[in-house]
Structure 1
Amino acid sequence: MTSTHNIHNTRIRYVRYVALGDSQTEGVGDGDDTTGLRGWADRLAEQLAHHDSGLQYANLAVRGRLAGQVRSEQLAPALALRPDLATVVAGVNDLLRPRFDADEVAGHLEAAFAALTAQGARVATMTFPDVGRVAPLARPLAPRVVALNARIREAARRHGVAVADIEVQPAATDPRLWSTDRLHTSPLGHARIAAAVAQALDLPGSDDTWTHPLPAPDRPTAGGWRAGAAELRWAAAFLGPWALRRLRGRSSGDGRTAKRPTLLPVHQN
């Protein structure tokens, strides 16, 4: 293990944190491409740096990437950075494709788990919430989510990987934790994911408050025809363009590279 121990206690001190993944890890939904993306991985790095100012952090995630692409494009660069902490989160883009094989997707994730832990890194991952509870039109995907999450837990158990088990928390599908596209979490959602991963890693100051429900909304949730109209607006604004890109063989990540490909000190927000 490349991590060192603080001389004052027994907690592990992480020096090099590398994040692998897709848009969620890149930070889409938390900031924008003009002012910059923050995201849960940045927030986790900030928490780590609060306790260890010498932390260096790299984020190799690129939006639109499938699990196999995360493995083929990001794993080797991640290993070259020799992290003592790594997060590997991918699979949602695979879930949305017409052809989906939970074993294949989990196999790519497990290959990353195996390679990183074999090199001595502490690794964390997460399960995914039921997207159908966020976007009703996506309800047919529920069995895929359940199948992938089960395999993620199994692969993580085999390699001693920490799991932020987001699937089992009802609060994870609160609409206020999601951006207007319902494909990415909002800043509040990213903050909760960071807290979930921190608890899975047993970081100082972490607890289960990320599982707590949000206060009741000021306004009741729309129902009936208003809810149906909202679904149609969402489909036109977000689902349609996403499907069109798929038909054209394009991705939101085409031409993009990692926002933070090298290890750098963490800027505290």
Structure 2
Amino acid sequence: MHTNPTHTSLVAVGDSFTEGMSDLLPDGSYRGWADVLAGRMAARTPGFRYANLAVRGKLIGQIVEEQIDLAAAMRPDVITLVGGLNDTLRPKCDMGRVRGLLTEAVERLAPSCKQLVLMRSPGRQGPVLERFRPRMEELFACVDDLAERHGALVVDLYGVPSLADPRMWDVDRLHLTAEGHRRVAEAVWQTLGYEAEDTEWRTPMPPSAPPGWLERRTADVRFTRRHLLPWIGRRLTGRSSGDGRPAKRPDLLPYEEPIVQIIQE
């Protein structure tokens, strides 16, 4: 049942998924589902405030250390927390530690806001996902348990048909396109109790002709060279794509639509 609530502030916590990769704007910055959601909420509530503390590549331990206290101190109406998935994709992952850190995050955030929102993240189909699926499902079981114990909402995107479509994912095969982020924003919007703007967000896109063998192999080679090998290199050297990168919106300030300047080639 939709309640059409009025929220005055939102703080988003997490990694690249919440930062907005790969919803690329013309000026080279990222938008993402959290920005889309904040824009909708601001349109309903004058003076609405928004902060996004998410930074790409962050593990759940880094999210707890760098973002949780900041988010809790802001005491917003709504906090979204999505984290731990980067941990599950590491070759060596201590799921007991991940569950413990996620529990710590929820226990510190839930009392500091009116509504905490957690998520069962989406995942495209493919051999990489299948390898890590047991860890992901263990993470999501923890999310469900924590939500029940602390009164959090869960946005369940795992296994949603529309978000399993490869066309919803960027060429790096890890991050959603603009359309994917829009659908995530719609899912969170409805979970918070707002009246649906898109009742068909779960519905898959119309089918298209599958790519030919040569096109698939070319895409695989491009993906391996541009994304997979650099990702492996960072794992082997202990580096992260978010090292030294600040949060995109570190302060809880009135939301304004970004002025996007198109970069001239």
Scaled by the length of structure 2, the TM-score of the pair is 0.89
Matched, 1:123 2:122: no
Q: Structure 1 residues 225 and 154 mapped into 2: Cα distance closer, same or farther (>3 Å)?
A: farther
Equivalence for 1:72: 65
Q: Structure 1 residues 206 and 109 mapped into 2: Cα distance closer, same or farther (>3 Å)?
A: farther
Q: Match of 2:256, as an amino acid?
A: H
Instruction: Please give the per-residue CA displacement for 1:36-77, whole angstroms capped at 9, x wherever unaligned.
Output: 221110001011111112210000001110011111110111
Instruction: Please give the per-residue CA displacement for 1:109-164, whole angstroms capped at 9, x wherever unaligned.
Output: 23222222212430112112344x0x434431122222212221111121111111
Equivalence for 2:262: none
Equivalence for 1:5: none
Equivalence for 2:94: 101
Could you list the structure 1 runs, at least 4 aligned residues long, displaced by more than 4 angstroms after superposition. Answer: 223-226
Q: Match of 1:71, as an amino acid?
A: V
For 2:77 and 2:189, how far apart are their aligned partners in 1?
Answer: 15
Equivalence for 2:226: 237
For 2:239 and 2:163, how far apart are their aligned partners in 1?
Answer: 29
For 1:209 and 1:189, how far apart are their aligned partners in 2?
Answer: 13
Match for 1:152 among 143, 153, 170? 143
Matched, 1:140 2:131: yes
* Structure 1 residue 268, shift from structure 2 partner: 3.6
Matched, 1:176 2:172: no
Larger CA deviation: 137-146 vs 75-84: 137-146
For 2:217 and 2:187, how far apart are their aligned partners in 1?
Answer: 32
For 2:158 and 2:19, how far apart are their aligned partners in 1?
Answer: 20
For 1:224 and 1:139, how far apart are their aligned partners in 2?
Answer: 22
Matched, 1:249 2:238: yes
Q: Is the 8 A contact 2:110 2:116 kept in 1?
A: yes
Q: Which has the higher contact order (CA 8 A, sep 6+)?
A: 2
For 1:207 and 1:185, how far apart are their aligned partners in 2?
Answer: 18
Give 1:22-61 correspondences, 5 Å limit: 22-31=15-24, 34-61=27-54
Q: Is the 8 A contact 2:162 2:205 kept in 1?
A: yes
Flag structure 1 segments of 5+ consecutive residues without an equivalent.
1-8
* Structure 1 residue 228, shift from structure 2 partner: 4.5
For 2:187 and 2:117, how far apart are their aligned partners in 1?
Answer: 10
For 2:195 and 2:255, how far apart are their aligned partners in 1?
Answer: 18
SS of the residue 1:125 aligns to: strand
For 1:210 and 1:195, how far apart are their aligned partners in 2?
Answer: 7
Q: Is the 8 A contact 2:4 2:193 kept in 1?
A: no
Q: Is the 8 A contact 1:129 1:145 kept in 2?
A: no
Q: Structure 1 residues 166 and 238 mapped into 2: Cα distance closer, same or farther (>3 Å)?
A: same
Matched, 1:261 2:250: yes
* Structure 1 residue 176, shift from structure 2 partner: 1.6
* Structure 1 residue 226, shift from structure 2 partner: 4.8
Match for 2:181 among 180, 185, 190? 190
SS of the residue 2:121 aligns to: coil
Matched, 1:221 2:203: no
Total equivalences in the alignment: 257
SS of the residue 1:25 aligns to: helix
For 2:198 and 2:99, how far apart are their aligned partners in 1?
Answer: 28
The CA RMSD measured in Å over matched residues stands at 2.2
For 2:217 and 2:135, how far apart are their aligned partners in 1?
Answer: 24
Q: Is the 8 A contact 2:42 2:48 kept in 1?
A: yes
For 1:167 and 1:223, how far apart are their aligned partners in 2?
Answer: 28
